[in-house]
Structure 1
Amino acid sequence: MNDPPPAAAPFAVTTPRGLSMPLAMFVYTLLYGGMTVLAGVLAFKQVQLWPTSLAVESGIFPFLLLVVISSTLSQLYGREAAKRIVWWGFLPLGLSALLMQLVLALPASPEMIAFRPDDLAAFERVHQSTWRVWMAGPASYIVSLLLNIWIFDRLRGRGEGEGTLGLMIRGAIASALSQAVDSVIFITLAFYGEFDITDLMIGQVLAKVFLSVVLVPLLITFGVRTARWLDGRAG
C-alpha cells in the first residue's frame, strides 16, 4: 500500500474545503491535461526514427509522456489515483475536440481569405479528420493507458522492484505492451477497410515498442525522483 508522502504545507495545493493535494500530483495533473490535447495535434505528422527506417506518428511523443505520468502517479500515490487522472483526461480531450470543430465551422475573416488563403487551406486540411479518427483516438487512449497502469502495478507484486532497476524494467514492459495494444486499436478503428494496414500496423508497433524500451524507463525514473523532490521540499 503506497500512502502519499507528506507534503510541506507551503508546497501543497489546498482547496477551499481544506483538502490537500501533493504538489507533484498537482503539477503532473496539469501536464497530463496538456499532453492529451497536444497528442492529437502532433499526430498529423509522421517522423522517421533515426537511425532506423521506422516511421511513427508524432503524437506518440506526448502520448509516451502520458504513460510516464500515469506510471509515476501509480508508483507514488497508488493505482486508483492514476486511474482517476486517466479518466479525467477525457475532459481536456473532449473539450479540445469540440473547440476544434467550432473553429472549423466558423467563417474565416475576410483578411485571411484575401491575404493568407494558403494558410487557411492548410489549417483546414490538417485539422479536418474523419469521424473514425475521432472515435479511434479516445478508444485507444483509455484502453492502453488503463492497461499500462494495471501492468505496471501488477508487476510490482508485494514490494518487489522498488529499486531503480526494477522501476525501469516495470516501466518498459508496461509501456511496450500497452503501446502495442494502442497501435492495434487505433489503426484498426481508424483505417481498416480503407487500405492495407499491415505495413502501417507493423511499423507503428515496432516503433512504439522501441521508444517504450529506450525512453520510458529513464523518463519514469526521472519523473519519480522529480515528484519526490517536489513533495519533499522544506518550507
Structure 2
Amino acid sequence: MILYLNGIFVGLLILANIVAVKLFSIGNFAILPAAVIIYIFTYPLIDVIVEVYGKKEARRTVQAGLIMQILALIFITIAIHLPAAPVFQEQSSFETILNGSFRVIIASLISYAVSQNLDVFVFNKLKSAHGQKKLWLRNNASTMLSQLIDTSIFITIAFYGTMPIAVLGSLILTQYIFKFFAAILTTPLVYLLVHLIRRKESLERVHPFQKEV
C-alpha cells in the first residue's frame, strides 16, 4: 500500500503545480489558487503514512515529492523552450499555463519542504505521546500548524514587496481559514485510509500465501 500512497501523493503535488495558475473565488470572502483544493489532500496522505508506516517512511515520501517537483520543473521548462511546430498555434497559451514565475516556484518549493517535514515531525511527536489513540488530534494539530506555516512562507516569499503588508496578511488569513476547515473535513479520510490499510495488512499476515484474484 505504501507504493500506492507515494504515487498518489506525488501525483497530487504535480497536478497542484499544473493547475496553480487558475484562481477561483468563494463569494466575496477569498480568492484562492485552484491548487489549494488538490494540495490540501497531501497532508492527510502524509499523516496516514506516519501513522501506519512511521516517520522515516513519511520523510522519504516528502523527499520524493520534492525531487519530483524539481524534475517536473526542469522538464516543463525544456518543453516550453522546444521550438514550436508551424501547426502548433498555442505556444503563448502553453507558456502562460505552465511557465510560473521563478519567485513563485521557489516559494512553493521552500514552503513545501518546510511545512511537510513539520507535519511529519509534529504528527510523530503526538503519536509517540498517545500511541494509536487520538488520531483526530495529531491529524488536525499537525495539519493545521503545517498549513499555517506553508501559507505564510509561500505568500511572503512569492509576494513580499509587490503589495502592502496588510494585503499580504489578508491573503494569508483567508487562505488559512479555508485550509483550516479543509483539515477538519478531511479527518474522516485519514481514519478510513488507516482502517483499510491496517485491515488489509492484518489479513495478509493471517493469510500470507493467499493470492489476489
Q: TM-score, normalised by structure 1?
A: 0.79
| 8 Å CA contact 1:177, 1:209 repeated in 2 | no
Letter in 2 for 1:37: I
| 8 Å CA contact 1:76, 1:224 repeated in 2 | yes
Q: TM-score, normalised by structure 2?
A: 0.86
Higher relative contact order at CA 8 Å, sep ≥6: structure 1 or structure 2? 1
Offset at residue 222 of structure 1 (A): 1.8
Among 54, 57, 64, the residue aligned to 1:81: 57
The CA distance in 1 between the partners of 2:41 and 2:22, in whole Å, is: 18
SS at match of 2:120: helix
1:195 aligns to 2:125 (yes or no): no
* Alignment correspondent of 2:11: 34
Letter in 2 for 1:187: I
| Poorly superposed stretches of 4+, deviation over 4 Å | none
Q: How many residues align?
A: 202
Among 15, 36, 55, the residue aligned to 1:60: 36
The CA distance in 1 between the partners of 2:96 and 2:129, in whole Å, is: 51
User: Where does 1:22-171 land on structure 2 (aligned, <5 Å)?
Assistant: 24-49=1-26, 53-113=29-89, 119-160=90-131, 162-163=132-133, 166-171=134-139
The CA distance in 1 between the partners of 2:178 and 2:30, in whole Å, is: 6
1:226 aligns to 2:203 (yes or no): no
| 8 Å CA contact 2:9, 2:45 repeated in 1 | yes
Could you give the per-residue CA deviations for residues 4-44 of structure 1, whole angstroms, max 9, x where no partner exists? xxxxxxxxxxxxxxxxxxxx111111112212211211221
Task: Indicate the RMSD between aligned Cα atoms, in angstroms.
Answer: 1.9
Letter in 2 for 1:224: V
Offset at residue 80 of structure 1 (A): 1.5
Structure 1 unaligned blocks of 5 or more: 1-23, 114-118
The CA distance in 2 between the partners of 1:88 and 1:180, in whole Å, is: 23
SS at match of 1:158: helix
* Alignment correspondent of 1:14: none
Identity within the alignment, %:
24
The CA distance in 1 between the partners of 2:30 and 2:129, in whole Å, is: 38
| 8 Å CA contact 2:23, 2:32 repeated in 1 | yes
| 8 Å CA contact 1:46, 1:55 repeated in 2 | yes
SS at match of 2:84: coil
Structure 2 unaligned blocks of 5 or more: none
1:177 aligns to 2:145 (yes or no): yes
Letter in 1 for 2:121: W
Could you give the per-residue CA deviations for residues 88-120 of structure 1, whole angstroms, max 9, x where no partner exists? 22221111100110011012111122xxxxx43
Offset at residue 130 of structure 1 (A): 1.6
Could you give the per-residue CA deviations for residues 161-205 of structure 1, whole angstroms, max 9, x where no partner exists? x24xx2122211111110011000001111111123232222112
Offset at residue 49 of structure 1 (A): 4.5
